[in-house]
């Protein structure tokens, strides 16, 4: 059996095991998290293409799995990215039962991770577009359930990702077959624009964030956080592999300019929309749009340090997303915002988790989102001062939004009288999450060196 | 003139009629029959230009997708109220007819494009897929209801799939595309079931 086949089968087994225990949500979540953790460790450390011994038997897992003339390859470049995805899935699914997600959510999350892992292994890599589309289909189903039956966001997600898939496949074909190079400027411009448009959809850059704003109000916040994480990560990895794979694209100033401008637009527009939003779930969703914009800015620098920072910020947002989803989920918002005023007094830890997650997405000092932004701003300030001012503006706007919501949650008299008692497990996850967010903000060296390992697979981008 | 040649001549016109009907028809049964017609047309075109297996894969996809939608229909999925204005977009039949004419004109112009990167796609297939793409896009823009919106998405995907299979005739890609078609059909049925449950709940309350 090949390594990719083993990974798929193991993913399927973990998802099946979690689904089998769906009547006991804590157990289903624990199984999904433990399984994902084991798969992350396996993807990172297992010997591939080298013989090893299991209970006295000599085993060798080939890195390539051929299927119908195409293949999946689990090479050194893909391994850290796949390990990161499974690790993040473990982190996000472990507390899912506390956030009121559907019982099938942990199993579905593991399956989605497997599909995105397939997108990182498929060769030629342009076919990753099809796997990202499949992940979007699964995500649509994750966002809609009996408890959250509105399909508007999921439908928009499907439509937008189908457009992106078409754009990416068409671009891949243009590059591979038609032979787009720097010496065919007309075709190169068509390919670049198609590519930028597709990535803008994958990263939910306004106006392609429509599915997020629709789903934020009507889906479970924790499921929503996971879906955004997995789809945007898939999009970012795909973008980086595209840049890594085509030399003319790395030299195309238009592509990097477009990335910088779309990133800046998303960072500011997301922050402004978060500021104007009157629903906590939408505030979180728009803060994520702004955060994705900053990640795009880092990619748009076209520098190895920028790519590393983009990956570092992607990792930092996992903690923020988890906390945001868990905080919102355990606040149990199902009514309009009005009935949540002052809820920080009756549910202080849940409200604090929501605010801490939001602060990290804003890039507030001492939070996990800050070190990446700070490095990016200091790196960019000399060459492109406008980009560092853009990041600073987005940070300021979002921090102002957090302060405003903190006042609404804590300083206004509570409309619900009875305080909510938390179990020890809930306290552990919420408190631990806030602690982790601070820890990574104060000691970024704990995680950044590990995370930037992901960039090592992109040998052309990060020599 | 052999059968395949005749098919090449009538396929673009058939695509306009069928995909236009997808926008104009209102009954769910009629829409599913029209969709199966679209799958039949594109499968026949694929069979005339591709390896037998790749063409047959398209036939199977069509059967499975339509089968899933028919099962949901038999299982009680309801027709949406026709002609009602939703989300500020007029949906009267006259409006849709005019929109179809305009979009058909745009499709005709786009299908004639001589751009170098389209040269690999035979003219009949280029025109057929362009019509399907633009009419699918029209469906996406016009309809907010899950089923009709999803049919627009499927129409667009059928058009893209037909053109892309000429560029990349690999069986592996045909299989992945087939999975996407089936995934969309399943997602459509699932989302609609959830939406109906929500609307049922709202009516009761």
Overall average pLDDT of the A2-6 stretch = 90
- Residue of chain A nearest B194, judged by CA positions: A149
Number of domains observed in the structure of chain B: 1
- In this structure, the answer to whether residues A100 and A128 fall within a common structural domain is no
B164 lies in some domain:
yes
What is the C-alpha to C-alpha distance for residues A184 and A421, in angstroms, rounded to an integer? 66
Beta-bridged to residue A65, according to DSSP, are A72
- The domain in which residue B54 lies consists of 3-77+101-204
Overall average pLDDT of the A317-342 stretch = 76
B164: chain A residues, CB-CB within 8 Å = 169-170, 173
Beta-bridged to residue A53, according to DSSP, are A58
- In this structure, the answer to whether residues A98 and A151 fall within a common structural domain is no
What is the C-alpha to C-alpha distance for residues A325 and A433, in angstroms, rounded to an integer? 11
Per-residue model confidence as pLDDT tens digits over A84-97? 999 999 999 998 88
Cβ within 8 Å, pair A137-B198: no
> Using beta carbons and an 8 Å cutoff, which residues of B are at the interface with A?
116-117, 120, 140, 146, 149-150, 153, 156-157, 160, 164, 167-168, 170-173, 175-177, 179-180, 183-184, 186-187, 190-192, 194-195, 197-198, 201
For residue B47, the Cα-to-chain-centroid distance in whole angstroms is: 18
What is the C-alpha to C-alpha distance for residues A17 and A21, in angstroms, rounded to an integer? 7
B195: chain A residues, CB-CB within 8 Å = 149-151
* Percentage of chain A modeled with pLDDT above 90: 45
What is A89-147 written as a DSSP string? HHHHHTTGGGGT--TTHHHHHHHHHHHHHHHHHEESGGGHHHHHHHHHHHHHHHH--SS
Q: Which residue has the higher pLDDT, B2 or A402?
A: A402
Q: Which residue has the higher pLDDT, A309 or A185?
A: A309
B128 lies in some domain:
yes
Burial of residue B2 (CB within 10 Å: 0-12, 13-18, 19+) is exposed
Identify which of A430, A426, A288, A310 has the alpha carbon closest to the alpha carbon of residue A358: A288
Task: Give the pLDDT score at B85.
Answer: 46
Q: What share of chain B is helix, strand, coil (3-state, %, to 5)?
A: 80, 0, 20
B contact test, residue of A149, A174, A181, A194 with most B CBs within 10 A: A149
Burial A189-208 (b: 16+ CB within 10 A, else e): ebbbebbbbbbbbbbbbbeb
A174 lies in some domain:
yes
Q: Is the peptide bond before A149 cis (omega within 30 degrees of 0)?
A: no
Which of A77, A106, A135 corresponds to the end of one domain?
Answer: A106
- Residue of chain B nearest A134, judged by CA positions: B180
Task: Give the pLDDT score at A163.
Answer: 94
- In this structure, the answer to whether residues A142 and A291 fall within a common structural domain is yes
pLDDT over threshold 80, residue A34: yes
Q: Which residue has the higher pLDDT, B5 or A310?
A: A310
- The domain in which residue A38 lies consists of 1-106
Q: Which residue has the higher pLDDT, A169 or B112?
A: A169
- Residue of chain B nearest A127, judged by CA positions: B173
Cβ within 8 Å, pair B190-A141: yes
- In this structure, the answer to whether residues A11 and A145 fall within a common structural domain is no
Encoded tokens for A357? 């997650």
What is the C-alpha to C-alpha distance for residues A394 and A109, in angstroms, rounded to an integer? 31
Q: What is the pLDDT along chain B (205 residues), one digit of tens a residue?
A: 677 778 778 888 898 899 989 888 888 889 999 999 999 999 988 888 877 887 888 889 999 999 999 998 887 766 665 545 455 667 788 888 888 888 888 887 777 766 666 677 888 888 899 999 999 999 998 888 889 999 999 999 999 999 998 888 888 888 889 999 999 999 999 998 888 877 776 666 5
Per-residue model confidence as pLDDT tens digits over A337-368? 555 677 777 888 888 999 999 999 999 999 99
A187: chain B residues, CB-CB within 8 Å = 116-117
What is A60-71 written as a DSSP string? ---SEEEETTEE
A214 pLDDT tier (thresholds 50, 70, 90): confident
Distance from A141 to chain B by nearest Cα, in Å? 7
- In this structure, the answer to whether residues A155 and A225 fall within a common structural domain is yes
Number of domains observed in the structure of chain A: 2
Cβ within 8 Å, pair B191-A140: yes
Distance from A158 to chain B by nearest Cα, in Å? 8
What is the C-alpha to C-alpha distance for residues A237 and A317, in angstroms, rounded to an integer? 15
- In this structure, the answer to whether residues A101 and A131 fall within a common structural domain is no
A133: chain B residues, CB-CB within 8 Å = 180, 183
Identify which of A114, A237, A130 has the alpha carbon closest to the alpha carbon of residue A173: A130
What is the C-alpha to C-alpha distance for residues A359 and A352, in angstroms, rounded to an integer? 10
Reported as half-sphere exposure (CB side, CA atoms, 13 A), residue B179 has a value of: 16
The C-alpha angle with vertex A364 and arms to A362 and A370, in degrees rounded to 5, equals: 90
- In this structure, the answer to whether residues A384 and A357 fall within a common structural domain is yes
| Closest Cβ–Cβ partner in B116, B153, B168 for A159 | B153
Cβ within 8 Å, pair A158-B153: yes
B92 lies in some domain:
no
A248 pLDDT tier (thresholds 50, 70, 90): confident
* Percentage of chain A modeled with pLDDT above 70: 95
A300 lies in some domain:
yes
- In this structure, the answer to whether residues A150 and A287 fall within a common structural domain is yes
B90 lies in some domain:
no
B120 lies in some domain:
yes
B94 lies in some domain:
no
A181 lies in some domain:
yes
Cβ within 8 Å, pair A173-B192: no
What is the C-alpha to C-alpha distance for residues B97 and B81, in angstroms, rounded to an integer? 18
Q: Which residue has the higher pLDDT, A130 or A180?
A: A130
Task: Give the pLDDT score at A360.
Answer: 94
Tell which phi-psi region holds residue A65, choosing left (phi > 0), alpha (psi between -120 and 50) or beta. Answer: beta
pTM: 0.91
Cβ within 8 Å, pair A154-B187: yes
- Residue of chain B nearest A171, judged by CA positions: B117
Q: Collapsing DSSP states into helix, strand and coil, what is residue A324?
A: helix
- In this structure, the answer to whether residues A141 and A76 fall within a common structural domain is no
Task: Give the pLDDT score at B86.
Answer: 54
B175: chain A residues, CB-CB within 8 Å = 68
Task: Give the pLDDT score at A398.
Answer: 95
Encoded tokens for A294? 């900053």
- In this structure, the answer to whether residues A21 and A135 fall within a common structural domain is no
Cβ within 8 Å, pair B173-A145: no
């Amino acid at each position: 059996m090949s390594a990719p086949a083993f990974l798929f089968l193991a993913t399927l087994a973990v998802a099946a095991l979690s689904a089998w225990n769906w009547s006991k949500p804590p157990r289903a979540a624990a199984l999904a998290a433990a399984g994902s953790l084991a798969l992350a460790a396996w993807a990172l450390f297992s010997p591939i293409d080298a013989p090893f011994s299991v209970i006295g038997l000599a085993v060798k897992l080939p890195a390539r799995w051929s299927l119908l003339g195409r293949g999946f390859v689990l090479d050194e470049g893909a391994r850290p990215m796949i390990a990161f995805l499974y690790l993040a899935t473990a982190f996000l699914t472990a507390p899912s039962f506390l956030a009121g997600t559907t019982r099938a959510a942990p199993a579905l999350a593991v399956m989605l991770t497997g599909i995105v892992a397939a997108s990182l292994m498929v060769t030629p890599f342009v076919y990753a577009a099809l796997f990202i589309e499949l992940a979007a289909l699964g995500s649509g189903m994750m966002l809609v359930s009996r408890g959250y039956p509105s399909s508007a966001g999921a439908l928009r997600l499907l439509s937008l990702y189908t457009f992106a898939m078409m754009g990416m496949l068409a671009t891949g074909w243009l590059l591979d077959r038609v032979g787009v190079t720097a010496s065919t400027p007309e075709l190169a411009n068509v390919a670049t624009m198609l590519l930028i448009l597709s990535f803008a959809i994958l990263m939910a850059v306004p106006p392609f964030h429509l599915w997020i704003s629709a789903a934020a109000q009507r889906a479970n916040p924790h499921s929503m956080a996971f879906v955004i994480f997995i789809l945007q990560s898939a999009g970012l990895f795909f973008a980086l592999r595209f840049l890594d794979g085509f030399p003319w694209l790395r030299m195309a100033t238009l592509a990097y300019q477009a990335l910088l401008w779309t990133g800046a637009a998303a960072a500011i527009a997301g922050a402004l929309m978060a500021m104007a939003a009157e629903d906590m779930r939408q505030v979180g969703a728009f803060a994520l749009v702004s955060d994705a914009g900053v990640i795009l800015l880092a990619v748009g620098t076209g520098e190895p340090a920028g790519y590393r920072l983009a990956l570092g910020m992607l990792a930092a947002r996992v903690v923020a997303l988890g906390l945001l989803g868990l905080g919102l989920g355990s606040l149990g918002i199902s009514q309009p915002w009005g009935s949540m005023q002052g809820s920080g007094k009756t549910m202080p830890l849940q409200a604090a988790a929501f605010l801490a997650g939001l602060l990290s997405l804003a890039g507030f000092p001492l939070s996990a989102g800050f070190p990446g932004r700070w490095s990016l701003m200091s790196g960019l300030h000399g060459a492109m001062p406008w980009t560092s001012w853009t990041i600073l503006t987005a940070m300021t706007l979002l921090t102002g939004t957090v302060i405003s919501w903190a006042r609404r949650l804590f300083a206004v008299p509570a409309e619900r009288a009875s305080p909510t008692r938390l179990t020890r497990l809930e306290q552990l996850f919420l408190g631990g999450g806030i602690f982790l967010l601070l820890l990574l903000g104060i000691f970024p060296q704990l995680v950044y060196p590990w995370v930037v390992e992901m960039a090592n697979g992109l040998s052309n981008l990060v020599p | 003139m052999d059968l395949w040649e005749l098919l090449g001549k009538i396929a673009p016109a058939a695509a306009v009629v069928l995909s236009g009907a997808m926008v104009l028809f209102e009954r769910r049964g009629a829409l599913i029959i029209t969709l199966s017609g679209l799958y039949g047309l594109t499968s026949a075109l694929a069979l005339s230009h591709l390896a037998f297996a790749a063409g047959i894969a398209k036939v199977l996809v069509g059967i499975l997708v339509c089968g899933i939608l028919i099962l949901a229909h038999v299982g009680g999925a309801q027709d949406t109220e026709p002609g009602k204005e939703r989300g500020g977009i007029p949906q009267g039949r006259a409006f849709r007819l005019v929109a179809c004419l305009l979009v058909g004109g745009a499709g005709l112009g786009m299908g004639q494009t001589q751009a170098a990167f389209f040269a690999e796609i035979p003219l009949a297939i280029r025109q057929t897929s362009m019509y399907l793409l633009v009419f699918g896009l029209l469906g996406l823009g016009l309809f907010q209801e899950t089923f009709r919106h999803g049919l627009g998405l499927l129409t667009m995907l059928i058009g893209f799939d037909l053109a892309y299979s000429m560029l990349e005739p690999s069986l592996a890609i045909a299989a992945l595309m087939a999975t996407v078609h089936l995934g969309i059909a399943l997602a459509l049925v699932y989302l609609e079931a959830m939406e109906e449950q929500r609307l049922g709940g709202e009516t009761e309350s």
